[in-house]
Each structure stands twice: as structure tokens, then as C-alpha cells.
Structure 1
Amino acid sequence: MASGCHKQPVSNAKVGTQNKTSLAALEEFHQRGGLPNFFRKVHEGKEVKVAYIGGSITEASEGWRSLTYNWLRINYPHTPFTEINATIGGTGSGLGVFRMERDVLDKQPDLVFVEFAVNDSGQSPENLYRTMEGIVRKTWKANSSTDICFVYTVAENTFGDLLKGQYQRSAQAMEVIAEYYQIPSIHMGVEVARLSQAGKLIFTGKPEENPDKIVFTSDRTHPLSKSGHPIYASVVKKYFEKMDGAAQPGPHPLPTPYIADNWETAQMVTLPEPSSSTHWERLPEGIAIAGDFAKFMPSIYRATAPDATLHIKFKGTKLGFYDIIGPASSMLDVTVDGEKKQVQRFDQWSNYYRKGNFYLDDLSDGIHEVTVRVPGHEFDKAKILKIRKIEITDPSLYAENGWYLSNIMVLGELLSFQWE
């Protein structure tokens, strides 16, 4: 166990994932404390707000999120529901924990679904303890009556774990936090594995080539809306019905943290407006990028000239940047406590604009000074895009070498911020 962990480790037997030896024995649901406060409001007919935070599998417009939300509305017709869709494709709990206040908790949810197992598949268990515990503790500090449900999905690269009778590593780590805080969890991928083992389902394929099988996905990760997502939604529905009335409502206790250096202090910092004397500007509302990303990035700042610079001083262990990557992105010169390095904010997916984030890692707990400069130098974007066989047909779209920044993220305390 990493340093800083609580001294009462959760047993794997309780978690129900590590010691399984067959798919038939694998539990897809752990009720634990259930969702009593959610169901109390449902049966009282009061407005109920349901939040979903996760990646692209939950973001899908005709996916398990919309299917389960619509099921709630139909199954409890006398309860007015409001959906809080806080999903962002390609992101994990490391960004999610920083987004919790603004994108989820400020909207006062009664229930929060948390789905990050696929996008967090490359993270170490210790990192996931920190981020997932941060999400839980932030939620219950904001409102101890908010119920939480962890849900796990699966991609082809970890599907073999389920077939062998165990959760993938990311879900196992999340189960440790779920068990410690008595949060219910549902692994939607177990049913997919059972259907596959029975010869009824092909995980990745083309429906037209497999008319006698359920084809779950065509890209190894994202369930098909007609045949994959309904399986996920049916599993959630089954266990929601089981949890209705199964526990007594009341505030959720906040015990001693499971891991002392969890990310409950993670902050998404709103930046001050740059003055006209700096090399920065806030994107006006009429600019397409500003409108396209306004839901999660209400303010976006652009470097207006080469050598635009940020000066940041903070006390803590981690500094992150919430930005936009795309055709106009470039290299950044980053200096941390006198040590210089280059950060590339253009990659093989940068033929379109998308939300991004990166962090300065391995910082000691203390005061740090960081400078970020946008040099504006040209580099071979075409070569980078060729990794995905993308050809540049309109060079003017890639001519700019700048940076689009929305927020900074601090694990600790921001001491000063300056545009230049």
C-alpha cells in the first residue's frame, strides 16, 4: 500500500473481486449502503436530480445514461427528475475530481453516478484511491445526503479479466473505495462477459456480418446504441429495483480518509481577466470555440502573440491545466522551480478541437513557482497527424501555434497568478 493509506485496509473478500476464479461466481452488484436518500425523495414525489460524471461511454447520446434516466422517469412517473450530464469523453477520475464542484455539486444532485473504469485503466491503484476518494469526500462534504453509485464499464483490452472471473484492475481499485465508504457498485460488463461465454455475443464486430449474434461494439470500447448500451442499462435497472427500500435514509458519515493524501482538496481555479497590456485575451462569445466548449469551459483564454507567458505560484503537490487541443495548438515552454521542459499540446488527434488537460507531477509538498510560455514556434504538425493517416487539406487551419486555456487546477493553495 502507498504511503498515507489508512491503517484499516479493506479486505478483498469483502470487495468481492480479487478472489473469484470463474465468471459464474463473479458478483456484478454490491449493495452496501444502497441509495436510501435518493429513494426517499423519489417516493415523496419531490424533484430529484440525477448526475452522471464519466467518459464517452456515459456521454453517448443514446447510451446507458439516457436509457436509465428515461427508465427512472417512466418507472416513477409522479417524481419530477432533472438530469445533470457532466460527462466528457476521453477523461478519467483525475480530471473528474477537479470538476466536481462546478460541474456536479453546485447543481445539488441527489444521486451521482461515477463511471471512469475504462478511461482509468492505465492508472495505478494508489492514484485511483486518491482520485475516487476525493470524489466521494467532496460530494459528502457538500451534502451528506447525496447518494453515490459507482458503475463500471469494460473495453476489449480488459474484457479477458471478466472472462477469467475478476474485475479489471481499475474497477478493483475503485471497489476498495466503494467498500470503505459503503457505496453501492454495479459492474455492467459482467453481463456482457456472460453473454459472450454463452456464445450469444461478440464483443467487437460488425452487426451485418453477425446476424445471429449480439454485437456489443464496433470499435473495441464504445457500446453500440442498438445492441450494446441496452445491456448496460438493463443491468442498472435490475439493481435499482433491488435497492428500492433496502436501506434507511440518513446522512452519510465521513470516516478518517482511507488514503491521507487523497484529492479532496483539488481545486478548479477560475482565472482573472487579463488586461489589454498582456499577450492574452478572453475569447469573445462569437468565436466558434468559445461556443462549442461553453458548457464546461465558460471562459477560454487565448495567447495573442509569441512569448505570451503565465506566472504561477502555489503551495501544494500538483498543478494542472484545463485546456483545448486542436489544429492551432503548439508547444509550451514550462519552467518549474527553475527547471525547464517542453510540453507538446498537439498530437495525432489534433485535426479537431477537444477538451484536454495535463499536470506537473512529482512535486514535493511545498511552495512552487511555475512559468508557462507560448513561444509560437512552427513545428511539423503534418508529421504528427500522419500517425493516424490524417492529411492536412487546409494549411490555414494549422497556421497558428498558440494555446487555449480555460482553468488551472491546484492540489493545494494558489498563491498568485499573473498574465504577461
Structure 2
Amino acid sequence: MQAISGSHQGLHRMSYLTRPAFFVRFLSLFLLLAISSNAIAAPEQDSYGLYHFFQKLRNNQQVNVVAIGGSITQAGTGWSKMSADLIAKAYPNAQVKFVNAGISGTGSNLGIFRLERDVIQYQPDLVLVEFAVNDGGAPDKACIRNLESIIVRLRQLPKPPAIVFVQAASKSGDGHHARHNLVAKHHRVMSVDMQKAIADHMSKTGATWDQLFSDQVHPRTAGHEVYAQTLWQRMQAYEQLPAMTIKEQPKLPNLSGEDLILDGKMITPDFEMDGWVYKQESINGWWMQFFQGSLQSGDKAGTLHLPFYGRTMGLWLLIKEGRGKVRLLVDGHYLKDASAFRPDWYYGAYIHPQLFDQGWHVLSIIPLGVNDQPAIARIGYLLLEDQSKAPAPSPEFWKTTWIESRAKADALAKLSWDVIPVESWQVIGPFGGDHPTPWEQPLVDMNKDFGIKLTGQPDTNQLLTGYQGKSVTWQQAKGLNGWVDLKAMYGLKDRGVTYAHVQIKAPADGKYEARISADYFTYITVNGKRAHEMIEGHGSPHNPVPMVLPLKAGVNDVWLTIHAGSMGYGFLMDLQADRGLEIVK
């Protein structure tokens, strides 16, 4: 067996980014399950792709095997390479070429942009997809859309490859498989459950988790061998499929409708503009094989305003040797302050999880320095739909959207945040938490009536029954640097509902920018009305999520309903500075 030379070959580095140790099956997912159950009943396997893959092997032809995923795939001699070796051993007269397109810490949201460079260019006959673990913190809708985009785009190729989903195991038993299995079943893609395979192997042999894995999710050599053997055994069951032509490949409706991203590209920003310059990178690190260079902000770099066409947008940043942050806006609307530096990691991708309207937009990138030093930001790739297919912008776009977006971005260039002090919050809890795995169904407890009325000020004389029948009452929050540390207060990290209250005085009626960082699921209620929800994955609990608080002139009562979920349990809220907001003591 030969390995195709490329940017992903021979990697041994494995890393795991902290992600929520759960993922939520909510109404949207159940609706999708209902849609899937009404689809035409069909065998699990991708008949066309698998038939032609095995036909080429039987005919002693060359087959190209590409594995795309995160660090579990990236392991240089791990399950993906072992699987290709098993195929080559079973068909010694065929030529099996293998490409490892695993990139540590990445999920299907980046995968839809990586397909062209990292998979399609190798003309694959078999594509192995391993994203379930790293997709754990993604919202349901975005995750399903990404997976469908990968499948449909590959099947639209002139010679569609066989596709197999490899669902990695985790020590907690929750490998975030449900959404992947939903999509696989609907699109007749083989899905291999490694959680079950590992459990069966441990039961049969007496092996322990620590003998098979180096941590919660990363296999040792013995674990990789179980993965590879399991995958090949599943595939062998379909070696003798009946002949099938591409015209007989069934056309299935998409769970995501017309929202698929089928032309995502990693666009090299090799231009010079507003103090930003594209340079070849001099950093010598294993991760640089994924990048050619980067668009770098100089000492006097200004705001980048870039027109783009399509419904999605993202950046892939090099962050090992940067400084500060970049503020991202689309059409003048604030999206996120993305870190330009992390001492413990190498790159970071931000892809906006919601789709924009189809059309022309303006991406504004504002470098934010730190400690009176300018930002050092490195943009490796812009993540966009294929811009070569875009129609020309209309004159109206340049007259209105372009000018207005730049003006709004310039006004937000100096946007800063005031953290609500920990001691300003009153909290009561924890409640609920009796289910063995409450983080999987947090709405059950979040929607229960535990005797708290989310309006006005709290009744601080209340004495209620909380978790495990213990009496709870209102108390001043405890924590550090704005983070209310409920984990430390209660000794819980994966269960329980807490209610928190603070009063905010506004100078006038209006909508005020705010951000919430929370572990993990959150309702925000303002003056008795629900203002914001975070009930799906939103990445790291310490990543601030932008929101808007509808406040009235005078004193406003702001309530949070917080459910644990990512082993941290806590929250932090900050408010846009310079808007005249005050915290009522």
C-alpha cells in the first residue's frame, strides 16, 4: 500500500480541545428524526459507492482512500492507516493509496471548506469521515447541515466515492453520535459505532479503558487496532453488492432543505490592504503543513472591509504567536471577538453557525491590541463559498450596504465591555438533577416550576427544596473576575438548575449589546419576558456569546436560568461599555 504524498501524511501529533461533555437532543432534532422516519425505507449501505469501490479492488485497480477528521484520525499510524493496510492485505494485487486528512481539533464546520483541498483533489474511491467527537459543541442545525453538505458534495462528483462515518468512542459513553447517525441513516451512509465495538472488546477480552485509550477519547495503538478491525469487518459484509450504475443512485431529500454549502473553499488572502500584508510563514511547526502563509496585521493595521458573496463566512487563524483579538462583524453587526493568540494551541477556526441571506455582504475585521500594544493577527484562510461563481455586486450594494457597514464597523471598533461583578448577582439552587444524565436533556429541569417567579426582585426569604431534597435559599454569588463559580459553590459540575438575578439601570429605552459566557444551557429573562436562549451547543463555556438586552429606562430585572453541562457550571455576563448602564447595588 502506498500513501499519497500531501500535506497530511505522516502525522503523529494528537491533541484534544476542551469541549462540552454532552450534546443536546432537542425539539429540532426530534423533528428531523420524524422527517427521517418518513423517508423511503432503504438498506444502510451506500450501494453505488461501495459496489464500485469493491469492484475496483476485485479488478486489481488502484483505489484512493481518504480519511478526514480530527486528532483521532490525524494519528499517523492510527485506525485510518491501519484500515487502509487491512484493505491492501485483503487485495494484494490492487494498489491502495491512502491520504490522512485528519487535522487535530477540527470538526465538520471546517470540513465543508476543506473538502476540495484535502479530499476531492485526490479523486477518492472511499472517504472515511470522523467528526462526531469534535462536533460535540456544535448546534444541531449547523451540525446536520455540515454533514449533509459533505455527503451531497461528494456524491455530486463525476465518480462519487463510498462514504463511511466512523463514530469514535468516549469514556463518558457519549460520543455525540446521534446527529451523525441520523444523517447517515437518512442518506444511506454506513455508520460504524466504535463505542459499541470498544465495549464489546472490553467485555470479551477483559481489557480496560486505560489499556486502549490515552485519555477520554484518544486511542492507544490497541484501541486503534480495534477501530480498524471493526471498520473493515463492517465493510466486508458489503463486498458482494449487486451491480449498480450512477443513474440508479437514489435521490434523497435533504434534512436541511436548500441550506447546504456545496462549494465551500479555503481562500488564500494573498493581498495587501489597510496595513495588512500577506507573508509566507517562518514558523517551523507541524501545524504549518496546513497553511501556506497568512495575512498579517502590522503595527498600524486598520479595519479590513471585505465584500463577499454567499450565506456563510469564517476565518482560519494562526494563533500560536499572535497577540490580542480580531473583532468580526458582518454588515455592521457584531459577531465575535476571536482570539489571535493562544499559548497552548496553534490555529483557530471561527465559522458563523447561522446562515446569512443569499447575496453580497461586508465582512469587517478589526484588530484589537492588548496592553497598549497592537494586535498581531494572522489569517491563514478566508472560509467562504466559491466567489468565482458570484454575480457582480449591484450599484445599490456599494451605495448602501458597503457604506453603512463600514460606518457601523468603525463605530464599533472601540467597543469595550464591562463585566458584571460577581457580588452583584443573587443566586439560588441547585434544583433538579435527579436524572442519571441530566445534561443530555436539560430542558426537562429548566422548564420545571421549582417555585421561582422570574419577574421583579427575588423573595430573599424563600426557603425551597433543591437537589437531593436539600433546603436552598438566596445567597450572594461567589467567584472570581466576573465568573460566578457555581461548581465551587455547590460541588456539582454536570447537573442542576440555578436561578440568578441582577438589576441593571438603563438611561433610556433601547436594545443594549451584551455577552454571556455560561456552562452551559441558559435562559435570559428581562422584566418578565424571555430575551435569549442558549439551549444547544455553543462551544467552550468561556467563549462569550453576543446577545441583545431589551431594556427600559430605569431599573430592569434580569434573570438567568442556568443548567450545568460541560463540567464547569458557572456564568459571566458583560455589558457594552459607554452606554450609560449601571448595576444596581
Question: Shorter-chain TM-score category?
Answer: 0.7 to 0.9
Structure 1 residues 315 and 2: alpha-carbon distance in aligned structure 2, compared to 1, 3 A threshold: farther
Q: In the alignment, is the contact (CA less than 8 A) between 1:36 and 1:250 conserved in 2?
A: no
User: Which residue of the partner structure matches residue 351 of structure 2?
Assistant: 359
Structure-2 residue corresponding to 1:217: 213
| Aligned residue identity for 2:378 | Y
Q: Relative to 1, partners in 2 of residues 1:116 and 1:181: Cα closer, same or farther, differing over 3 Å?
A: same
Q: 1:218 to 1:314 in 2, by over 3 A?
A: same
Residue in 1 that maps onto 2:322: 328
Mapping of residues 163-242 of structure 1, within 5 Å: 168=175, 170-197=176-203, 200-203=206-209, 205=210, 215-225=211-221, 227-242=222-237
Give, in whole Å, the separation in 1 of the partners of 2:212 and 2:44: 24
Once the 2 structures are TM-superposed, how far is the Cα of residue 93 of structure 1 from its aligned partner?
0.7
Partner residue, 1:102:
117
Q: Label 1:400 to 1:197 Cα distance change in 2 as closer, same or farther (>3 A).
A: farther
Q: Is 1:311 equivalent to 2:305 in the alignment? A: yes
> What residue is the counterpart of 1:53 in the other structure?
68
Deviation track 1:122-176 (CA, whole Å, cap 9, x = no partner) reads 234332220111001110112343111111111123x1x5xxxxxx5x3221222
Structure 1 residue 95: Cα displacement: 0.7
Letter of the aligned partner of 1:224 in structure 2? R
Q: Secondary structure at the match of 1:145?
A: coil
Instruction: Tell me which protein shows more strand as a share of its residues.
Output: 2
How far is the alpha carbon of 1:77 from its aligned partner? 1.1
Consecutive unaligned residues in structure 1, runs of 5 or more: 17-28, 162-167, 206-214, 380-398
Q: CA RMSD in A?
A: 3.3
Instruction: Report if aligned partners of 2:269, 2:294 keep a CA contact under 8 Å in 1.
Output: no
TM superposition shift of 1:266: 4.7
Q: Which residue of the partner structure matches residue 380 of structure 2?
A: 406
In the aligned structure 2, how far is the partner of 1:8 from the partner of 1:341?
33
Closer, same or farther: CA 338–13 of 1 in aligned 2, 3 Å: closer
Which is greater in Rg?
A: 2
Cα distance in 2 for residues equivalent to 1:14 and 1:219? 40
Give the C-alpha shift of residue 110 in structure 1: 0.8
Q: How does 1:68-107 map to 2 (within 5 A)?
A: 68-107=83-122
1:187 positional shift = 1.2
- Please say if residues 307 and 376 of structure 1, whose CA atoms lie closer than 8 Å, have aligned partners that are also in contact: no
Q: Is contact 1:327-1:353 (8 Å) kept? A: no
Note if contact 2:67-2:99 (Cα within 8 Å) is conserved in structure 1.
yes
The residue type paired with residue 369 of structure 2 is G
Query: 1: CA distance between counterparts of 2:301 and 2:335?
Result: 15
Distance 1:181 1:85 in 2: 24
* Contact 2:265–2:384 (Cα < 8 Å) also in 1: yes
Matched, 1:258 2:255: yes
Aligned counterparts, 1:331-342, within 5 A: 331-340=325-334
Cα distance in structure 1, aligned partners of 2:225 and 2:274 = 52
**8 A Cα contact 1:137 1:254, kept in partner:** no
Q: Percent identity?
A: 25
The residue that corresponds to 1:143 in the other structure is 158
What SS does the aligned partner of 1:36 have?
helix
Q: How does 1:234-313 map to 2 (within 5 A)?
A: 234-251=229-246, 252-275=249-272, 278-284=274-280, 287-289=282-284, 292-313=286-307
Q: 1:378 is matched with which residue?
A: 371
Secondary structure at the counterpart of residue 64 of structure 2: strand
Distance 1:335 1:315 in 2: 15
Give the distance between the partners of 2:181 and 2:93, measured in 1 at CA.
34
3-state DSSP of counterpart to 2:102: coil
Aligned amino acid, residue 181 of structure 1: H
Partners of 2:195 and 2:152 in 1: CA distance: 26
Q: Secondary structure at the match of 2:35?
A: coil
1:46 CA drift (Å): 1.5
Shift of residue 409, structure 1, vs aligned partner = 1.4
Alignment partners' CA distance in 1, 2:88 and 2:204:
33
1:192-245 deviation per Cα after TM superposition (whole angstroms, max 9, x unaligned)? 112345681322x3xxxxxxxxx22131110112x2111111101212222212
Closer, same or farther: CA 129–78 of 1 in aligned 2, 3 Å: same
Structure 1 residue 81, shift from structure 2 partner: 1.6
Q: How many residues align?
A: 361
Amino acid at match of 1:280: W
Question: Shift of the alpha carbon at 1:292?
Answer: 4.4
Give, in angstroms, the shift of residue 116 of structure 1: 0.8
* Paired residue secondary structure (1:66): helix
Which segment is superposed worse, 308-317 or 50-59?
308-317
Q: Check whether the contact 2:325–2:369 (CA below 8 A) recurs between aligned residues.
A: yes
Deviation (angstroms), 1:115 = 0.7
CA distance in 2, matches of 1:406, 1:62: 27
Gap change, CA 1:400 and 1:235, over 3 Å in 2: farther
